[in-house]
A and B are shown apart, each in its own frame.
Chain A
Amino acid sequence: MASDALRSQVAAKWQESFARLNRHEPGIAGLVRFSHAWNVALAVLRPRRLDELKEDVDIELVRSAFAVINGGRRLPFLLETFLEELKKRYWMVGKDVEEYMARFEQTENAEVIRDLVLRLVAWFKHWAPLPELRLGSTIYSAYTLSFQTHLFSIVPPSFATGFKALVSSTLSASASTTKSHGHDTDDPNAPIWQSFETLGLIDRYESIIATVGYEFIEHHVLDTCTAEWSRPMLSELRDWMSEKVVPWMLLIYARGATNAEEARSMLQGVGSRFDFHINKTLCDLRTKEIFDIIIDFPESNGALMDLKDCLQRVDQRPALVKALRQANRKRLLHPGADTKLILSQYVATIKCLRIIDPPGVLLFKVADPIRRYLRDRPDTIRCIVANLVGDDSDSPDSLLDDTIDSTSGSGGGQITTTNPAHLIDDYSDPNWDPEPIDAGPEFRANKPQDVLSTLVSIYDSQDLFVKEVQILLAQRLLSIPILSNTTVEDTNGTTERIEKERRTLEILKLRFGEMALGVCEVMLKDMTDSKRIDSHIQNQLSLSSSSSTPPSSADINVVHPTIISHHFWPSSDPSAFSSLSNQHHHQQQQNQQQSSSSFMLPGQFKTLQSTYLSQFTKFKPDKTLRFLPNLGSVTLLIRFEDEREMEVQVGAIEAGVLELFNMKGEEEVEGDVENKEGAMLSLDELIQGLGGIDKGSVLKALLTWIDYGVLEEVEGREGMFRVLEVENDRKREGGGGGGGGGGEGEERTRQAVAAHVHAQESNLPPVVSAQQQQADQMRVYWKFIEGMLTNLGGLPIDRIQSMLRFAPGYDQSVDQLSMFLDAARREGVVVFREATQKNKKNIEHFVRPVKSQITTENLNSFFDHVVAIYLTGARGLSIFHAPTG
């Protein structure tokens, strides 16, 4: 079949091959020599068992054999055959691997892996072509590659775990051997790393090795740095790294480096990776701890510096923000936390984050929820202002101190209301910087503000602050007794205390501006004026007393009033006081309606007042005084029948109550009534005697005196109280079992009265708080609302709100209005009706008055509610429920 051409072609090929193998030697001699050489070479290369020694080979012979093969250009085929052979015999290695791995899986001992590796190296060396043959790198690398490929294909997955354990044992070994810097010194692990290198394990398991390094670092960082915030740890960690980890790294990553310089350059990449890992681990740790770090500030300054450095290398800013916001939400912004605490934590947060991130982007992101939360708290302003004004007991690092610092630093920037001009960047500023890249759209690169202005900026306007400052100042000033130097020694430091307030005020003025605090200025002036007037009047009185009426002088010298300009003091209007106390006790409403005049001080007080008043009008003929009887304090000296004496300082109502008993006693003496029991008065008599004030205040006053052991409730007659002229013997005996009944009775009285007081809880602060003022204000607008609803019928809330805006000074929001109306609804003064018109809200509430039901009585109890709501700050009340017909 084959054509001639094909035949001749095959013949030619055959001839050619033969010629190449025979190398033009006569006959087939060349061919025979070639086959001999082939056999010799194969025998030398053949992989054999470990214990099977290589027979001595004649190097020359083998070399010539290879030369023959090479001459026939059959070396590649030889290599192929050799590798084929290797593959066939690899089961021997596989057996070893299986055996060792089985042992490892049983013992979990990294040493087994070490042995296995050494064993594998032995195999590798045993099978490697003799180096003396100088076969060239191609064959060697082909051999290595093939050996490793087979090896990796047979090792079980558990080898990775074992390898990791082995590596980490080498790491801890080299870390524990403290030794001088340098990689040539005899590290105990150098041989094993050599073996790894030989077997190509380093390249294959590089990620595992790196993981071991990372884990080692993490472990160390967590060990040494957790809760260690006082000093920066980063440099220490780096020292530790270069001492402990770098020698180990040299073994792996700088193998084959000939000198230190080379080693360094080889380590550079991996070294920076490890350094990054230190940063990252530390950063993660600090991020987790950030809330507590802030609590510990300023002791935790070191940690903050670390965090700052870390954040520059590691992009963890979003994580930090997230962690801190979460911690704040969980640990800070809940009803259980005191506003004061929240504030101080906020201030600490401001300071800390300013260290970490001077431009304030982080702060802006973190602060937002805190600010929003604080805005909703009713007593935030009070807390801030209280911190500002600073009680004597306050810690030295009150806000005011910071203020002083920053004012001296920045030249006293006033708090400016947000002025649009400030929000526009000044592009002509040569120091202008773009906003940081992670800044949100709302972020404003404000000039670094001080803490106080940051706090004040929680609210949109500073008016609220100013108002609260006034109220606090009023409270503090009224507690300062007026003592003129001429008459009494200035023991309480009246002048000093006024001066202190003045200093505080000056500082606040720098912040809030001269205008806003002008009212406070007047208040301070009232104080000094009062003092001046008082000393003048006291002089006049002592002059006149020395000439004429001696008995009255002793009395008159005791009155030292603070004379105030009532338009400049927060709600010191007497009608406001009385109306507020009315609102709290509607069971007394009927009484109140009859006798609109409120608290009056009886007896001696009245005479004292009028004497003082007449002196005052002599001194200032164009002015007169109106005493505010429920403010102020009295020091009383009480002398009992049994010659006991007692000096107490009490409030005005308490003094009034006791004076009533005193008067009653004197009456009885004059009327020769037998008086063994001590003066006795009923609760109603007391209320009448004091001008019909509410029951709660009287009960509270009575309780005070019962506590002092001056009064007691008459046994068996509820509501009757009498003076304890003779000190209760049974009580003096220590309330022991003997007397029994009486002591118990007294205790019972106390509890009963206390229960009364608690039920009424009339604990009004002497000066009305801003919220009460607000509620009071609403009272005025109620008239408008009432008229509106009566004339126009039902109105939606929006409409009421828009009409109220025409009323002078109306500044309530719709929410506040609807809260108010809701309170009105619950009192049955108005009703809500749901309308079904399509509207934005879909459901609209109409409000219409219930005409028949509006009586004074439920109006008053309604205002009670309103005040209560304002006081509790229950802003969240929804009006969208239970509309009645």
Chain B
Amino acid sequence: MKVTIKHWHAVAQWRWDTGKSEPNSDDSEGDVCGICRVPFEGCCPTCKMPGDDCPLIWGECTHIFHMHCLLKWLGTAASKQQCPMDRRTWGMPTKFSLVAVPC
């Protein structure tokens, strides 16, 4: 007997590749944005669409947030351009110079 797959309608869910956890691990809850406490795969409070419309941002300090959340934070005077988690000055790591290239 030979079985050939003609068509496979699979179902998959996408994840941000945060590089932290092994994507197929059972820790399905995933991480949440430190600012809005919404999962990364969700969207920040101002957005309606997750994914490319509400991308993530990586800091030098390896903290990750929704980009919109972080930019809003950085926009406030109280932020002093620091990462809200560890109070280090916010900076983009060179290797992640570009986040989420929408096609």
B26: chain A residues within 8 A (beta carbon): 575, 596-597
Question: Across the two chains, which residue of chain A brings its CB closest to B3?
Answer: A662
Question: Across the two chains, which residue of chain A brings its CB closest to B10?
Answer: A561
Q: How far is the CA of A678 from the CA of B3 in the complex (A)?
A: 13
Q: Is the CB of A635 within 8 A of B14?
A: no
A9: chain B residues within 8 A (beta carbon): none
Q: How far is the CA of A640 from the CA of B15 in the complex (A)?
A: 40
Looking at A522, A555, A658, the one whose CB has the most chain B CB atoms below 10 A away is: A522
Check if B97 is an interface residue, CB within 8 A of chain A.
Answer: no
Q: Mark A586-626, 1 if CB is under 8 A from B, else 0.
A: 00000000001100000011001100000001011111111
Query: Considering only CB atoms and an 8 Å cut-off, how many residues of chain A contact the other chain?
Result: 67
Looking at B7, B13, B41, the one whose CB has the most chain A CB atoms below 10 A away is: B13
From A564, A637, A638, A647, contact of B11 by CB (8 A): A564
Which residues, 53 to 96 on B, are CB-close (under 8 Å) to A? 55-56
A202: min CB distance to chain B, Å? 85
Check if A536 is an interface residue, CB within 8 A of chain B.
Answer: yes
B14: chain A residues within 8 A (beta carbon): 563-565, 620, 623-626
From A529, A561, A574, contact of B9 by CB (8 A): A561
B56: chain A residues within 8 A (beta carbon): 622
A596: chain B residues within 8 A (beta carbon): 26
A617: chain B residues within 8 A (beta carbon): 17
Q: Is the CB of A481 within 8 A of B100?
A: no
Q: Is the CB of B10 within 8 A of A662?
A: no
Q: How far is the CA of A573 from the CA of B23 in the complex (A)?
A: 14
Q: How far is the CA of A575 from the CA of B28 in the complex (A)?
A: 7
Q: Is the CB of B11 within 8 A of A628?
A: yes
Q: Is the CB of A659 within 8 A of B3?
A: yes
Check if A636 is an interface residue, CB within 8 A of chain B.
Answer: yes
Looking at B8, B28, B50, the one whose CB has the most chain A CB atoms below 10 A away is: B8
A738: min CB distance to chain B, Å? 27
Q: How far is the CA of A76 from the CA of B50 in the complex (A)?
A: 115
Q: How far is the CA of A562 from the CA of B103 in the complex (A)?
A: 18
Looking at B6, B7, B41, the one whose CB has the most chain A CB atoms below 10 A away is: B7
A662: chain B residues within 8 A (beta carbon): 1-3
From B5, B55, B101, contact of A635 by CB (8 A): B5
Q: Is the CB of B12 within 8 A of A622?
A: no
Check if B24 is an interface residue, CB within 8 A of chain A.
Answer: yes
Q: Is the CB of B9 within 8 A of A624?
A: no
Looking at B10, B26, B51, the one whose CB has the most chain A CB atoms below 10 A away is: B10
B55: chain A residues within 8 A (beta carbon): 622
Q: Is the CB of B50 within 8 A of A637?
A: no
Q: Mark A628-657, 1 if CB is under 8 A from B, else 0.
A: 110111111111110000010000100100
Query: Contacts A482-B9, A566-B41, A609-B10 hold; do A623 and B17 have CB atoms under 8 A apart?
Result: yes
Q: Is the CB of A565 within 8 A of B48?
A: no
Q: How far is the CA of A560 from the CA of B10 in the complex (A)?
A: 6
Q: Mark A532-568, 1 if CB is under 8 A from B, else 0.
A: 0000100000000000000000010011111111111
Question: Across the two chains, which residue of chain A brings its CB closest to B18?
Answer: A622
Looking at B39, B48, B99, the one whose CB has the most chain A CB atoms below 10 A away is: B48
Check if A478 is an interface residue, CB within 8 A of chain B.
Answer: yes
Q: Is the CB of A625 within 8 A of B9?
A: no
Check if A723 is an interface residue, CB within 8 A of chain B.
Answer: yes
Q: Is the CB of B24 within 8 A of A558?
A: no
Question: Across the two chains, which residue of chain B brings its CB closest to A561?
Answer: B10
Query: Contacts A522-B50, A562-B10, A566-B41 hold; do A624 and B15 have CB atoms under 8 A apart?
Result: yes
Question: Across the two chains, which residue of chain B brings its CB closest to A723?
Answer: B1
Q: Is the CB of A658 within 8 A of B8?
A: no
19 contacts between A and B (CB under 8 A): A521-B49, A522-B48, A560-B8, A561-B9, A566-B41, A567-B50, A575-B26, A609-B10, A621-B17, A622-B100, A623-B17, A624-B23, A627-B11, A628-B12, A635-B8, A637-B6, A638-B2, A641-B1, A725-B1
| Residues on A facing B (Cβ under 8 Å) | 478, 481-482, 518, 521-522, 525, 529, 536, 555, 558-569, 572-575, 596-597, 604-605, 608-609, 617, 619-629, 631-641, 647, 652, 655, 658-659, 661-662, 665, 678-679, 723, 725
The 5 closest A-B pairs by CB, nearest first: A631-B11, A566-B13, A561-B10, A635-B7, A662-B3
